[in-house]
């Protein structure tokens, strides 16, 4: 997936708050700080807002902030009511922040472009939105119960709930993506993404052709890969109040998503290893440092770095999927992917990467 960058010019809004009651003021200050681009503590923001509500009707600024946080959490339906309350009270947004009107337009766009929830009586860890059953999405939809099993095997009762949007036409997907994430799809080969509370996939590529072969295990695995991103980033926000994409290096982010996909299909990694052994005959392999840098990682020939990361994470975690939440717990504490892996597995990622490269180069 691509990283969603978030730049806001944030400033303290306290001067504009009419509340005089100290506790409320403290809470509103804390809410502003939690939502700011510097912190992005959206889970904490929700708890603060609940505490504020107990003290009386929140200010329009507070409604805006919690609506803003919900948009960043990719929960537009939840954001809408808060943003409307801010608008009703004539609040338009802070200078340098996305305005109330723009956020509400995004909510409206997402609602218009979203495929319907497949099962209206839905009550489970993956809410699937799709425009009916297509030849392409049928094998994916059939695999959803298995995906949920994979998720439970990794996270147990801490499995985060997700909204999963499947698109059958590209223009709708592109517009939906822009409204949901407030950014454009940055890489031409990207057919899906996974982030806090959300995973998406489009069955058509940028040229309108079927993106991946119908029913192929690679296709179904690619979808599970995006759910892997979504579970990891949601877990880190739900339980540690941190933005995964800010602290996880690309090799670990993509490697974990690949590892999740391999739990559904063990041959997933065998195919990558076979491909890499062929590839090394004609290409030089990147250094471990090169896998740490996002700009480099997602550039030309990204497959090579994705699949090296897949095999590396497999070597580091072995067969114990329950290590994933432990790695995420350590990542939240150390804010460094290499240190997190070392703390949980007692293995050094750079050393293991060298072993992987030596293995691939061996005749």
The answer to whether 230 contacts Zn ion (rule: CB under 5 A) is no
Looking at beta carbons, which residue is closest to Zn ion? 1
Owner of token pair 């766009």:
109
Residue 1 vs 27, nearer CB to Zn ion: 1
- Min dist. Cβ of residue 233 to Zn ion (A): 11
Nearer to Zn ion among residue 1 and residue 48 (C-beta): 1
Instruction: Give min distance, CB of 200 to Zn ion, in A.
Output: 12
Comparing CA positions, the residue from 35, 96, 24 lying closest to residue 64 is: 35
x/- track of binding to Zn ion for residues 236-275 (CB under 5 A): ------------------x--x------------------
CB of residue 231 to Zn ion, shortest distance in Å = 12
Q: How far is the CB of 192 from Zn ion (least distance, A)?
A: 8
DSSP state, residue 292: S
Q: Please say whether the beta carbons of 177 and 200 come within 8 A.
A: yes
| Distance from the Cα of residue 311 to its chain's centroid | 21
Quote the CA–CA distance of 155 and 248 in Å, as a whole number: 18
CB-nearer residue toward Zn ion: 13 or 244: 244
130 touches Zn ion (CB under 5 A): no
Residue 251 CA to residue 223 CA, distance in Å, equals: 18
Nearer to Zn ion, 36 or 200 (CB): 200
Residue 130: its H or E element: strand 126-130
CB under 8 Å to 261, separation ≥6 — which residues?
221, 222, 224, 225, 228, 268
CB of 225 to Zn ion, least distance (A): 6
Q: How far apart are CA 305 and CA 345, in angstroms?
A: 22
Restricting to residues 1-20, which ones interact with Zn ion according to CB under 5 A? 1
Q: Which is nearer to Zn ion, 73 or 224 (CB)?
A: 224
CB 23 to Zn ion: min, Å: 43
**Residues contacting Zn ion: total by CB under 5 A:** 3
- Give least dist CB 268 to Zn ion, A: 13
- 59 vs 234 by CB, closer to Zn ion: 234
Burial 267-306 (b: 16+ CB within 10 A, else e): ebbebbbeebeebbeeeebbebeebbeeeebbeeebebbb
Contact set with Zn ion (CB under 5 A): 1, 254, 257
């Amino acid at each position: 997936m691509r990283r969603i960058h978030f730049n806001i010019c944030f400033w303290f809004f306290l001067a504009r708050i009419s509340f005089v009651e100290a506790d409320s003021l403290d809470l509103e200050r804390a809410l502003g700080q939690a939502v700011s681009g510097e912190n992005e503590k959206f889970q904490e923001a929700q708890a603060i807002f609940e505490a504020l509500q107990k003290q009386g009707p929140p200010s329009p600024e507070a409604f805006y902030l919690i609506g803003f946080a919900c948009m960043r959490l990719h929960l537009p339906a939840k954001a809408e009511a808060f943003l409307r309350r801010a608008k009703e009270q004539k609040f338009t947004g802070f200078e340098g922040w996305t305005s109330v009107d723009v956020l509400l337009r995004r909510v409206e766009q997402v609602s218009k472009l979203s495929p319907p929830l497949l099962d209206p009586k839905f009550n489970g860890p993956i809410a699937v939105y799709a425009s009916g059953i297509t030849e392409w999405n049928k094998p994916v939809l059939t695999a959803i119960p298995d995906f949920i099993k994979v998720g439970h095997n990794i996270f147990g009762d801490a499995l985060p709930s997700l909204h999963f949007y499947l698109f059958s036409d590209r223009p709708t997907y592109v517009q939906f993506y822009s409204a949901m994430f407030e950014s454009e799809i940055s890489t031409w080969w990207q057919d899906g993404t996974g982030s806090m509370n959300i995973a998406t996939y489009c069955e058509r590529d940028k040229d309108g052709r079927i993106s991946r072969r119908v029913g192929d295990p690679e296709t179904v695995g690619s979808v599970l890969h995006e759910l892997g991103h979504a579970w990891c980033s949601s877990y880190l926000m739900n339980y540690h109040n941190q933005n995964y994409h800010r602290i996880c290096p690309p090799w670990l982010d993509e490697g974990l998503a690949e590892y999740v996909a391999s739990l559904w299909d063990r041959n997933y990694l065998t195919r990558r290893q076979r491909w890499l052994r062929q590839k090394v005959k004609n290409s030089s392999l990147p250094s471990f440092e090169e896998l740490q840098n996002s700009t480099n990682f997602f550039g030309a020939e990204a497959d090579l770095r994705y699949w090296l990361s897949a095999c590396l994470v497999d070597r580091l975690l072995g067969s114990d999927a329950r290590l994933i939440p432990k790695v995420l717990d350590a990542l939240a504490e150390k804010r460094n992917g290499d240190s997190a892996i070392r703390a949980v597995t007692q293995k050094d990622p750079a050393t293991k990467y060298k072993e992987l490269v030596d293995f691939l180069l061996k005749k």
